[in-house]
Amino acid sequence: MLALNTATLGHNLDGHGAGWTPEEVIDVCAALGYGGITFWRRELGRRAQQIGERTRAAGLEVVGLCRTPFLTGPLALPSEREIMDDLHRSIDQAAALGTNVLTIVSGGPEPGTKGVVESQKIVADRVARVAEFAASRNVNLALEPLNPAMAGNRTCLMTAAEALTLCDQIGVQNVGIAIDVYHVWWDTTLHDTLKAQAKGRILGYHLCDWLADTSDMLLDRGMMGDGVADLRSIRCAVENAGYTGYCEAEIFSAENWWKRDPHEVLKTIVKRFRKFC
Amino acid sequence: MLALNTATLGHNLDGHGAGWTPEEVIDVCAALGYGGITFWRRELGRRAQQIGERTRAAGLEVVGLCRTPFLTGPLALPSEREIMDDLHRSIDQAAALGTNVLTIVSGGPEPGTKGVVESQKIVADRVARVAEFAASRNVNLALEPLNPAMAGNRTCLMTAAEALTLCDQIGVQNVGIAIDVYHVWWDTTLHDTLKAQAKGRILGYHLCDWLADTSDMLLDRGMMGDGVADLRSIRCAVENAGYTGYCEAEIFSAENWWKRDPHEVLKTIVKRFRKFC
């Protein structure tokens, strides 16, 4: 089943994207047969509950919320207190929205440290400290490993294996992982890792493609079928590990798809999903 | 012991870099106490033997030659015959230069294929077919895994583990791997991998740093100490696997170090090597 991550429409920021309200996104997705939507916090304002209800009224599921603040690294909020406060707020927003998946992007190496190991420990600690609160709000936390290209400032979790190891260390029911094609497509150990460690731990599966000549690590993702990722094989690995949720299209593409008519983008995703995924 | 990879001075291309002849590079490196130099093919022309002799006459070793043509992928030469011909030429040039290490950058996924597995098999086949010729010229072939950021078009080997597995499959004495900090710094399995599989297989160790806010995957490498790579730890892993060769500074930095006075660059490397590596 197909879902839309609203980042695919350009975040309505910086002149990119549809400029659509959440309600407009909901209506068009419902009309095109999408099963659900994942929103970003910036789109909710104080309307999380309202937008959640509106989504369900249109026959769609709220698949997830993007995302917690960075928990470590140079892009994180300046103090631990601010990070933890915002982390709690993100859980509240997920609960108000009525979704049970909140994505965690860990953040990169803590300033002053070398490598990623120390930062991974801090992430594990901070997630563990909010896990019970999240459970009380019926929210699961999905650690998303990111492509090593982003390990300088956005992530200290680069592989599914590392994210799953962190889950095991945290050791609670409501912490799992999200698998995003863009971040893991290159990892030839993915099948074995998911088979051995991921049973019941996968909380999200994100679709796009890796363009052979990717020009910008953050904002040049490809439409499914236009790149070199083996999309069928990755989906198999995810579903063989017990994942039965949505395939969520999440295409950051500042110079291509964000510049197109969003109706065209949404229709193309439906076609490409049937053909390539 | 410290060596210079001449790419650090900007390849003398596109207005970057010192504009120095190989002879000038050799003299300045000798004066500053470098132990060796790795050249690029483009710098040799028909003078490989002459430049090799000149290097040794200055008391330096020719540490290696960069590099073979891409063996697969969208950036490779158009036909297998052209690829194999140029691969043989690169081996001849290494032999003429008098170095026994020729670096292989595999190239990315073959056009029309998905994922990297098929391309890895092609790389293994093509390397295996020239290994005996290389051995007859006293040249060892070093498979260099590249950062997954480059897996779209420049590499189908992303980790030391994959490169070592390919070595095992090829199964000859003169094929090993090169470890470059830029490409492997994020890999938390590196120590275990090298310990378990790399004994006697490491043919080169390349130094730079990963900047937290890396802006360009190809040409924004950091000077040692300016980034987040755990340089001491990686060197330990490499030397624990039996590597006794040079630490070779290889800093592609179009917007920073390539724009500076090359004397300053070379002196900075010496200082940073002592302090951070």
Interface test with A, best of B186, B210, B220, B275 (most A CBs within 10 A): B186
Which one-letter amino acid corresponds to residue B112?
Answer: G
Residues on chain A bordering chain B, Cβ-to-Cβ distance under 8 angstroms: 73-74, 108-109, 113-117, 120, 147-149, 151-153, 158, 161-162, 185-189, 210-214, 217, 227-231, 233
Q: How many CB atoms lie within 10 A of CB B133?
A: 14
pLDDT of residue B18: 67
pLDDT for the residue A194? 98
Check residues B204 and A17 and name the one with the higher pLDDT. Answer: B204
Name which of A106, A114, A147 to mutate to probe chain B: the one with the most chain B Cβ atoms within 10 A of its Cβ: A114
Across B118-138, average pLDDT: 98
A225 contact residues in B (CB cutoff 8 A): none
Q: For residue B19, name the pLDDT band (cuts at 50, 70, 90).
A: confident
What pLDDT was estimated at residue B276?
Answer: 94
Banded pLDDT at A13 (limits 50, 70, 90): low
A99: left (phi over 0), alpha (psi -120 to 50) or beta: beta
Q: How far apart are CA A40 and CA A224, in angstroms?
A: 22
Give A163-220 pLDDT, tens digit per residue: 999 999 999 999 999 999 999 999 999 999 999 999 999 999 999 999 999 989 999 9
CB distance A188–B113 less than 8 Å? no
Mean predicted confidence (pLDDT) in B72-96: 98
For B231, the closest chain A residue by CA position comes to A114
Look at B109 and A228 and tell me if their CB atoms are within 8 Å. Answer: yes
pLDDT at A19: 80
Strands A175-180 and A202-207: parallel
B101, burial (CB in 10 Å: exposed 0-12, middle 13-18, buried 19+)? buried
Segment A233-248, tens digit of pLDDT: 999 999 999 999 999 9
Asked if B116 lies within 8 A of A186 by C-beta distance, the reply is yes
The pLDDT assigned to B117 comes to: 98
Q: Tell me how many residue pairs between chain A and chain B have CB atoms under 8 A apart.
A: 101
Distances (CA, A) of B255 to B7, B13, B220, B270: 14, 14, 7, 21
Nearest chain A Cα distance for residue B188, angstroms: 8
Identify the residue among B188, B197, B233 best suited for mutation to test binding to A, counting A beta carbons within 10 A and taking the highest.
B188
- Rounded to the nearest angstrom, the minimum Cα separation between B251 and chain A is 17
Contact B148 A149 (CB under 8 A): yes
Per residue in B9-48, is it b (16+ CB within 10 Å) or e — as a string?
Answer: bbbbeeebbbebebeebbebbbeeebbbbbbbbebbeebb
Three-class SS state of A212: coil
Is this prediction's ipTM beyond 0.85? yes
Å from A182 to nearest chain B CA? Answer: 10
Q: What are phi and psi of A142, to 5 degrees?
A: -110, 105
| Candidates A120, A162, A229; nearest CB to B115 | A229
Q: Look at residue A98 in the predicted model and tell me its pLDDT.
A: 98
> A228 to chain B nearest CA, in Å?
5
Q: What sign has the CA pseudo-torsion A160, A162, A163, A165? A: positive
**Chain A residue with the nearest C-alpha to that of B74:** A212
Place of tokens 């039965």: A244
Distance of CA A250 to the CA centre of its chain: 8
Mean pLDDT (whole number) for B182-191: 98
What's the predicted TM-score (pTM) here?
0.96
Calculate how close chain B gets to A32, using CA atoms only, in Å. 28
- What is the average per-residue pLDDT within B193-221? 96
Residue B246 banded pLDDT, cuts 50, 70, 90 = very high
pLDDT at residue B1 is higher than 90: yes
DSSP single-letter state for residue B185: T
Rounded distance between C-alpha atoms, residue B123 and residue A263, angstroms: 42
Residue range A56-87, pLDDT digits in tens: 999 999 999 999 999 999 999 999 999 999 99
H or E element, residue A249: strand A247-249
Kindly list the residues from chain B whose CB atom is less than 8 angstroms away from the CB atom of residue A161. Answer: 189
How close does chain A come to B115, measured CA to CA in Å?
5
Q: What is the pLDDT of residue A18?
A: 67
In b/e form, how buried is each residue of B147-185, taking b as 16+ CB within 10 angstroms? bbbbbbbbbbbbbbbbbbbbbeebeeebbbbbbbbbbbb
Whether A115 sits inside 8 A of B213 (CB atoms) is no
Q: Which alpha helices (DSSP H) does B61-136 contain, by range?
A: 80-97, 117-136
Residue keyed to tokens 């036909």: B79
Pick from A1, A15, A16: nearest CA to A265 = A16
B270 CB-contact burial (10 Å; exposed 0-12 / middle 13-18 / buried 19+): middle
Provide CB contacts within 8 A for A157, sequence distance 6+. A106, A116, A120, A123, A143, A144, A145, A146, A163, A166
The reported pLDDT for the residue numbered B17 is 60
Phi, then psi, of A41 in degrees rounded to 5: -55, -40
Q: What is the mean pLDDT of chain A?
A: 96
CA nearest to A182 within chain B: B149
Is the confidence at residue A12, as pLDDT, over 70?
Answer: no
- B212 CB neighbours in chain A (<8 A) are 73-74, 108-109, 152-153
Residue B57 pLDDT > 60:
yes
Chain B residues in contact with A189 by the CB 8 A cut-off are 161
Interchain proximity A148–B187, CB inside 8 Å: yes
Question: Which residues of chain A lie closer than 8 angstroms to B227, CB-CB?
Answer: 152
Question: Do residue A147 and residue B152 have CB atoms under 8 angstroms apart?
Answer: no
